[in-house]
């Protein structure tokens, strides 16, 4: 966040508001004070002059009503004498006008030429006519100064016998007011400066904790809850700072709790085997965990913000609104020719208490193995049913023929009984093989291991087959001459090797050869049994260890196979911690390889 500039700070605003309020108050007081002072000064000026006017009016009335003889001075002379004695500050000129508007005298020695002339002043005429005092302030055109003009009637026995026309120099009063205004403005400016300084100091007491809280808020936004706001007092701002520190503590605790829950959720989402996808209310992905990325083979960057129906490739079957009401699981089949891959998706709607939909959570389960097991189970049941149905059908046909009288035929009856016996033995072998597989599938299946010399053990099995074989097949051995001591279950590995040698003899042509090899490697031994039979097509090599799988079903059934021998061998070898696989060239023969763990150090300890 950008730092607040000085001209935008609350500090300056507070000082400005404070100053504006002081200026407003001072202006209101100043206007009222100046106006009242001006009125008072003007009133005092007028009253002081009017006090002199009353005395002047009395003297003039006596002279103007006095009866004169020839020896008495003229009225003009007397008026001039009276006016010359009438000296008062603030008076520029005093004129005396009789009731005929004739100027009888003037106090201005430089303006004696107007004596005896008729006045044209409007205010004089009004005073003569109305008999009332009248005053007015004018501005002289020449000097631009303000003057006060007063007309006061001279009355005798209720009649106006003349008018006193006075011109006062009231400009001095206004000069005094200007000086007072200057003093007031200077005092106001000084008080504003002092007030501004006090306002800055006062504002700091308020803005300092606010600035601290602002810095604390910025630190909290960055995740730092260790700072505390200093409490400067116990007023409202101090209580606010205390509350802010309390809020910081609570936020720190809440963040720690939230962060802990987030980490728990992240850990759960990261390590759970199921895929989890969350969307917003518009159906766009906002969260996808690692298992979901791996299941869908979609990078996180690609998956985020993508519509859920597009991510799951459900555009052609569902809309996002359909998923909100979907109660059943949705099967997602991503199988190809090379790979069988199926997911199951369950959808849960996220809603507020008001019913507003926040989004959807999709949980993905990989059910490929389950589907594969279910498919294998169905195929297994079908294969078992088929394998049992064939000999049972054959036995039923022959038994029905015997029951209908064929038992009396000495040539046919033994053949029918022989076929029935062979089919019975075949079903017994099938059931025994199924029991073996069932035992190996059981969780508590264990091996009974003993220390044996594997070379000697392998040679004994080969000797047994070499002595009992009926085909014209030669055996070739490439076995180590020294002892190879291993801990194995002799019975189980005997069954494995017996089954592989039996198959090699079955499919070897007359005059063919079966080869046996044992190779020592770093941590294992490799056993191989090769024949020169018809071989196995390349596309069938990976399937020959599956249950009931036969490359040539007709020929295998004729030779008495159940299709479970190699499946049993694979289970037994895996129980020993080894591996079994086949290599074949069609028309040239097949080689079965077996690897078994071999630890030389344990052999030395046993020795």
Q: Return the CATH number of 272-366, one of 3.40.50.720, 3.30.450.20, 2.40.30.10, 3.30.70.20.
A: 3.30.450.20
Same fold, 272-366 and 372-441: no
Range 207-230 average pLDDT:
78
Span 372-441: which CATH code? Answer: 1.10.287.130
Q: Are 335 and 342 in contact (CB under 8 A)?
A: yes
Q: Are 237 and 210 in contact (CB under 8 A)?
A: yes
Kind and range of the H or E run holding 579: strand 579-585
The model's confidence at residue 267, banded by pLDDT at 50, 70 and 90, is confident
pLDDT of 229 above 60:
yes
Q: What is the DSSP string of 271-339?
A: H-SSEEEEE-TTSBEEEE-HHHHHHHT--HHHHTTSBHHHHTT-TTT--HHHHHH--S-EEEE---SS-
User: What pLDDT was estimated at residue 553?
Assistant: 46
Q: Are 552 and 526 in contact (CB under 8 A)?
A: no
Supply φ then ψ for residue 584, to 5 degrees. -155, 150
CB burial of 47-78 (b: ≥16 within 10 Å; e: otherwise) equals eebeebbeebbebbeebbeeeeeeeeeebeeb
Range 5-26 average pLDDT:
72
pLDDT of 456 above 80:
yes
Distance CA(478)–CA(236), nearest Å, equals: 100
Helix (H, G, I), strand (E, B) or coil at 149: strand
pLDDT of 236 above 90:
no
- Of all residues in the chain, the percent with pLDDT exceeding 90 is 4
pLDDT of 340 above 90:
no
Distance CA(60)–CA(45), nearest Å, equals: 22
The model's confidence at residue 533, banded by pLDDT at 50, 70 and 90, is confident
Span 450-606: which CATH code? Answer: 3.30.565.10
Q: Are 504 and 514 in contact (CB under 8 A)?
A: yes
- Note the CATH architecture for domain 11-170: 2-Layer Sandwich (3.30)
Find the range with the poorest average confidence among 9-13, 78-82, 412-416, 419-423: 9-13
Range 265-284 average pLDDT:
82
Helix (H, G, I), strand (E, B) or coil at 362: strand
The model's confidence at residue 595, banded by pLDDT at 50, 70 and 90, is very high
Q: What is the mean pLDDT of the chain?
A: 80
CB burial of 176-193 (b: ≥16 within 10 Å; e: otherwise) equals ebeeebeebeeebeeeee
Neighbours of 207 (CB within 10 A): 20
Neighbours of 164 (CB within 10 A): 22
Q: What is the DSSP string of 160-219?
A: EEEEEEEEE-THHHHHHHHHHHHHHHHHHHHHHHHHHHHHHHHHHHHHHHHHHHHHHHHH
Write out the two tokens for 549.
């799988």
Bridge partners, residue 343, by sequence: 332, 366
Distance CA(331)–CA(506), nearest Å, equals: 45
The model's confidence at residue 593, banded by pLDDT at 50, 70 and 90, is very high
pLDDT of 124 above 80:
yes
User: What pLDDT was estimated at residue 440?
Assistant: 62
pLDDT of 316 above 90:
no
User: What pLDDT was estimated at residue 557?
Assistant: 46
User: What pLDDT was estimated at residue 176?
Assistant: 82
User: What pLDDT was estimated at residue 558?
Assistant: 47
On the CB side of 185, CA atoms within 13 Å amount to 6
Q: Any idea where the domains of the chain sit in the sequence? A: 11-170, 272-366, 372-441, 450-606
Distance CA(276)–CA(289), nearest Å, equals: 6
pLDDT of 100 above 80:
yes
User: What pLDDT was estimated at residue 559?
Assistant: 47
Q: What is the dihedral of CA 549, 555, 556, 557, to 10 degrees?
A: 110
387-401 residue pLDDT tens: 667 677 777 887 888
User: What pLDDT was estimated at residue 367?
Assistant: 84
């Amino acid at each position: 966040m950008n730092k607040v500039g000085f001209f935008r700070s609350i500090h300056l605003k507070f000082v400005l508001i404070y100053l504006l309020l002081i200026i407003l108050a001072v202006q209101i007081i100043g206007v009222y004070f100046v106006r009242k002072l001006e009125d008072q000064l003007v009133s005092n000026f007028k009253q002081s002059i009017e006090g002199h006017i009353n005395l002047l009016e009395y003297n003039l009335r006596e002279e103007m009503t006095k009866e004169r003889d020839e020896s008495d001075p003229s009225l003009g002379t007397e008026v001039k004498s009276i006016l010359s004695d009438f000296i008062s500050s603030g008076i520029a000129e005093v004129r005396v006008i009789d009731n005929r508007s004739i100027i009888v005298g003037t106090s201005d020695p430089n303006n004696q030429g107007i004596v005896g002339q008729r006045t044209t002043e409007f205010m004089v005429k009004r005073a003569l006519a109305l008999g009332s005092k009248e005053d007015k302030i004018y501005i002289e055109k020449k000097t631009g100064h303000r003057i006060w003009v007063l007309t006061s009637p001279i009355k005798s026995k209720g009649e106006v016998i003349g008018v006193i026309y006075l011109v006062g120099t009231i400009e001095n009063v206004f000069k005094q007011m200007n000086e007072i205004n200057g003093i007031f403005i200077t005092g106001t400016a000084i008080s504003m400066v002092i007030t501004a300084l006090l306002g800055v100091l006062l504002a700091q007491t308020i803005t300092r904790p606010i600035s601290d809280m602002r810095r604390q808020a910025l630190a909290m936004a960055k995740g730092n809850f260790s700072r505390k706001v200093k409490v400067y007092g116990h007023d409202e701002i101090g209580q606010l700072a205390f509350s802010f520190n309390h809020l910081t503590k609570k936020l720190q605790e809440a963040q720690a709790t939230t962060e802990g829950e987030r980490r728990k959720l992240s850990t759960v989402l990261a390590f759970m085997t199921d895929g989890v996808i969350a969307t917003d209310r518009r159906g766009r992905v906002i969260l996808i965990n690692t298992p979901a990325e791996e299941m869908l083979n979609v990078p996180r960057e690609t998956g985020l913000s993508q519509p859920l129906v597009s991510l799951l490739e459900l555009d052609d079957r569902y809309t996002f609104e359909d998923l909100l009401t979907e109660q059943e699981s949705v099967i997602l089949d991503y199988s190809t020719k090379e790979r069988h891959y199926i997911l199951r998706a369950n959808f849960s709607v996220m809603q507020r208490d008001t019913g507003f939909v926040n989004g959807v959570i999709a949980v993905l389960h990989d059910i490929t193995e389950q589907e594969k097991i279910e498919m294998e189970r169905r195929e297994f049941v079908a294969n078992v049913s088929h394998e049992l149905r064939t000999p049972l059908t054959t036995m039923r046909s022959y038994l029905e023929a015997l029951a209908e009288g064929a038992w009396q035929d000495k040539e046919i009856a033994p053949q029918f009984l022989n076929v029935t016996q062979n089919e019975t033995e075949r079903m017994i072998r099938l059931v025994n093989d199924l029991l073996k597989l069932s035992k190996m599938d059981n969780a508590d299946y264990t091996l009974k291991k003993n220390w044996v010399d594997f070379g000697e053990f392998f040679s004994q099995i080969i000797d047994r087959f070499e002595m009992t074989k009926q085909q014209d097949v030669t055996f070739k051995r490439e076995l180590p001459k020294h002892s190879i001591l291993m801990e194995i279950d002799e019975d189980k590995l005997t069954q494995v090797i017996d089954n592989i040698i039996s198959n090699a003899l079955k499919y070897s042509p007359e005059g063919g050869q079966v080869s046996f090899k044992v190779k020592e490697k770093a941590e294992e031994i490799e056993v191989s049994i090769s024949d020169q039979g018809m071989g196995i097509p390349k596309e069938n090599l990976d399937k020959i260890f599956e249950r009931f799988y036969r490359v040539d079903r007709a020929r295998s059934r004729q030779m008495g196979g159940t299709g479970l021998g190699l499946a049993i061998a694979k289970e037994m070898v895996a129980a020993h911690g080894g591996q079994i696989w086949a290599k074949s060239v069609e028309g040239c023969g097949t080689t079965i390889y077996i690897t078994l763990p071999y630890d030389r150090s344990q052999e030395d300890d046993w020795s």
